[in-house]
Amino acid sequence: MDVSIVFVNYKTEALLFDCFRSIHEYTSGINFECIVVDNHFIPGHNQTILHEYPNTSWIDSGGNVGFSKANNIGLKAAKGEYILFLNADTLLIDNAIAQAWNHLKKDAHLVALGGIQLDINREPIPYYRTLNDVRRDFYIIPNRPVFHQLIDRLLPEQRFSQPEETNNLVGAFLMASRANLLNIKGWDEDFFMYAEDAELSFRLSKMGKLAYFDDVKFIHLIQENPFRRTNYSWVNRFAMQIQVSNLLWIRKSYGILPFVIIYANYTILAPLFWAWKICLNIIKGKNLFDDTKNQRIFSQKLSILYRYFFSILFLKKGPYRIKPEENIDQVNKS
């Protein structure tokens, strides 16, 4: 078997069916299998797919075990020499899987590769090209050039010998050899959702090259989910589940100091953010606490992050999944 394609399903059978159709329409020149690990198995909901594609392996994970653990279940069941982890909300538009497989086969120094994401109109979706690009965005600083220059010095642009190289692969389309994945013990199951692909990329990059190639593209529909933010501002730009996972990744991959510095940034910012708004209200002759929703949300988010501080600091075993009442974006949804 050349490639095993592993999917994690969570109430996405209709999306999976469309994805399967695109795979079977465009993929040629390789032997492949499809493995679905179902994190919300309901008997009968998979019958349309299994009737059309009876060779599909469908595994009931036993509950919502998270993205990483489900991927590892698929990895364990896979028979292919190479493994493609592919999101359910994706569509192929050409023979991208075989092209990715060919890149990995012909370059012994290439450890893993990702696919370039396109929207439904086949326009490129912006993404973080390197891990430092992601890390720079974690800091909430005044939107002034001097502060951005400081962050850029601390986390400089990462360059590689070839233009296609990277150290950050998007988990929606990620292919690597089964041997390399098993060598690093697969996905880190402390992650429930988000940042697990950054952490996996960090470990894979220690083994060799990671890359994106222009001939490996796919459509990513990017479905809405309850963990995404609903209101965006310069300060409140993080969703809780995403940021808890990001902080776990920073602690695991870069150690204690970068992890603590991010917490310090947010802790110092909170009273300054309140003081700025109160002073502005005084100048305008308004009530001291008028129009402070942004400040209240940030304070709520910071208090939730501190609930996870010591667990992440001492790398307590996960998975790190926030509680419904900790999902501040949904709690404050208007």
| pLDDT (0 to 100) of residue 233 | 81
Chain segment 46-98, per-residue pLDDT in tens? 999 999 999 999 999 999 999 999 999 999 999 999 999 999 999 999 999 99
- pLDDT band of residue 223 (cuts 50, 70, 90) is low
Q: Does pLDDT of 41 surpass 80?
A: yes
Chain segment 307-321, per-residue pLDDT in tens? 999 999 999 999 999
Please choose, from the candidates 301, 145, 115, the residue with its C-alpha nearest in 3D space to the C-alpha of residue 220.
Answer: 115
User: Can the peptide bond before residue 319 be classed as cis, meaning omega within 30 degrees of 0?
Assistant: yes
- pLDDT band of residue 144 (cuts 50, 70, 90) is confident
Q: Does pLDDT of 212 surpass 80?
A: yes
CATH topology for 3-220 is Spore Coat Polysaccharide Biosynthesis Protein SpsA; Chain A (3.90.550)
- pLDDT band of residue 329 (cuts 50, 70, 90) is confident
- pLDDT band of residue 330 (cuts 50, 70, 90) is confident
Question: How do the domains of the chain map onto residue ranges?
Answer: 3-220, 240-331
Q: Does pLDDT of 120 surpass 80?
A: yes
- pLDDT band of residue 333 (cuts 50, 70, 90) is low
pTM of the predicted structure, to 2 decimals: 0.93
Q: Each residue of 98-137: b (16+ CB within 10 Å) or e?
A: bbbbbbbeeeeebbbbbbbbbeeeeeeeebebbbbbbbbe
Q: Does pLDDT of 270 surpass 60?
A: yes
What average pLDDT does this structure show over 131-155? 92
Q: Does pLDDT of 228 surpass 80?
A: no
Helix, strand, coil shares, percent, the chain, to 5: 45, 15, 40
| Angstrom distance (rounded) from CA 114 to CA 220 | 13
- pLDDT band of residue 224 (cuts 50, 70, 90) is low
